[in-house]
Chain A
Amino acid sequence: MSFLTLEKLSKIYGDFAAARDIDLSVAKGEFVSLLGPSGCGKTTTLQMIAGLVEPTTGTITLDGRDITRQTPNKRGLGIVFQSYALFPHMTVAQNVAFGLEMRKVAKAERDERVATMLGLVHLGGFAERYPRQLSGGQRQRVAIARALVIQPPVLLLDEPLSNLDAKLREEMQFELRRIQQRVGTTTIMVTHDQAEALSISDRVVVMEQGRMTQVDAPYRLYENPATPFISSFVGKMNRLDGAWRKGAMEIAGIALPAETSGLSEGQAIALSIRPEKIALKPAGQGRLDGTIANRFFLGGSWLFTVETAAGAILVSAPNDGEEPAREGTKVALDWALASQRIEPLAQGAAA
């Protein structure tokens, strides 16, 4: 069932663990994203799968075969490198054709496949250029084309869209997804752009300091983040620290009702809620009163910062075409109890 399996995969440099105990199984045709802050070990993990970094411990299984010690040229995986790693002395067409040449594909078919692939990444007119004559985004697309053209069973993408403008990036995301669905390529993509990870993947792996902290479908990851770190890294999140008193959460003297049980009186707790789950109401008609301190227009929505007695709270409201309340307006914040999450804080370790 599982096509690519990582078991207890670790990479230790000296006494520093770049990746530790990575356990992941990816089904055939699945699109998995590795998401995490810079330096958390995403590239290291990807390169262990590619065979370019030797794992300190652990095994990698591909389609039932143990490939942990196999050389990279025998694995046949398509890789887009973070630094592109284009061949500087070859033209764009030669770069893309290299993998086909290694596979002894006849010249006529090779030329045709290269041309098709270059068309796909919108570089049809650039075939005879050298990489140094291209812009960053164009180079990135050559790297994508070079990896895709060999039609690998597994595609490893290390931040493949980081250098593209918003429109092209969306188009390429769509293209990657389409190819992956049509050909059934198992894809693992590294990214630190959470929106990209959420929009394109079947599952998202969140990494933090060399470890996997959560593996889940994008929707579940967003709604049920396993740790406060994930909740703040994936999307925006409001966090209010308070205490549990008389069956409600008390923050700065204000009691907020909660449907939680099993908490002891006086225990320190944190309430988290997404900005888009909060509605702005006229003053006095919500759970919490405050004043609008800032508002940002984001096109599809507005983002407000509301100063309340419990601290600054982010509120996002869809743009309905009307101009919303201005800075300084007194408002009330309201939300459904189901959309808030209450977690006990460990004593002393306010994570």
Chain B
Amino acid sequence: MSVGRSAATPFWLVGPGGLLFLGLIVLPLVLTVILSFHVYDHTTGIKNEFTLAHYAAVFSDDYYLGIFWRTLRLAALTTLICAVIGAPEAYILSRMRDPWRSVFLLVIIGPLLVSVVVRAFGWSMLLGSTGLVNQTLQALGFDSVRLLYTETAIVIALVHVMLPFMVIPVWTALQKLDPMVEAAAWSLGASHFTALRRVVLPQVSLGMLSGSLIVFGLSASAFAIPGLLGGRRLKMAATLVYDEYMHELNWPLGATIAIIVLAANLVIMLAYNRVIETRARKALG
């Protein structure tokens, strides 16, 4: 093994990935940041002048702040519901016997094979004013409810799409658990519930936290579902950016919103990651 080769090899190995990262992520991001500081004029378009007006506009306008707040709220709600449904689901899955376990794992992961757009359309058919849900309600003698184009519809569909991203990390964490550890808790007098709460949950909390991170990040930047189930009025951050670019043609403003969403997401996830890491240091080796 020559010294020259061993010195250059790492760079060659990192090269392709690094180029891809530079070209497809860093470069567009830098361009977007630069774009967000450009002046925009409704008659002449983008001008080559520097301004902070877009940032000022976004932060002083209740319309934008309301959409950010909704994005944050719905993403957090989706994460919470996913955790509440996904963790028990993963636990039940891990306790199943083999033919059933494979079947149900496929049922949970299966939706990932269908495009999000198709699933969003599916939900809009189910939740529409003459959809299956309302038909059932009417058949049972209830008033029909408005579901489509509400936040409820967005959250329902987001939970459906995001659930696998919660179930899989929790399931992985459960796989690593020695079943005898739970048995040890029982033998020491703990009820099933106490054993779950005191022994199983703390050990899978790491999986739940990383699942939450994925679900939150994906929900906050979701585009197809709020676009199709939220309608024209109920916007989230990603649909707002789309509108600024494609309808208003105000690219610098769109870029500004995109950067703000990115920064907010980054801050929330990094803070969350800190929590995970301190937890991890305590829980597992």
Q: Which residues of A contact B (CB under 8 A)?
A: 50-52, 71-73, 75-79, 81, 83, 85-89, 98-99, 102-103, 130, 132-133, 146, 150
Contact = CB atoms under 8 A, between A and B. Distances in A.
Nearest to B194: A102
A73 B195 CA distance: 10
Given A99-B188, A99-B189, A72 B283 contact: no
A85 B185 CA distance: 9
Contacts of B187: 50-52, 72-73, 75, 77-79
A150 B185 CA distance: 13
A76 to B, nearest CB: 7
Given A75-B187, A81-B180, 4 more contacts: A51-B187, A73-B186, A73-B192, A87-B181
Nearest to B191: A73
Nearest to A53: B183
- Name the prevailing secondary structure of the B interface residues: helix
Contacts of B185: 87, 98
13 contacts: A50-B187, A52-B183, A52-B186, A72-B183, A73-B188, A73-B192, A73-B195, A76-B189, A85-B183, A86-B184, A88-B203, A146-B188, A150-B189
B247 interface: no
Given A89-B203, A89-B282, A73 B189 contact: yes
B189 A103 contact: yes
A137 B181 CA distance: 18
A332 B202 CA distance: 68
A77 B189 CA distance: 9
Nearest to A73: B186
A159 to B, nearest CB: 13
Number of contact residues on B: which range applies?
Answer: 20 to 34
Interface string B80-92: 0000000000000
Interface of B: 178, 180-181, 183-192, 194-195, 198-199, 202-203, 282-285
A120 to B, nearest CB: 18
Contacts of A76: 189
A56 to B, nearest CB: 17
Q: For B183, B198, B282, which residue has the most chain A Cβ atoms within 10 angstroms?
A: B183
A132 B120 CA distance: 46
B190 A102 contact: yes
Contacts of A146: 184, 188
A87 B189 contact: no
Contact of B189 (A51, A102, A130): A102
A86 B194 contact: no
Nearest to B181: A85
Contact of B285 (A50, A79, A132): A132
A88 B283 CA distance: 7
Contacts of A73: 186-192, 195
Contacts of A133: 285
Give me the 8 closest cross-chain CB pairs, A-B, nearest first. Answer: A132-B285, A102-B189, A99-B188, A85-B180, A85-B184, A72-B186, A89-B283, A73-B186
B181 A86 contact: yes
Contact of A71 (B184, B186, B188, B199): B186
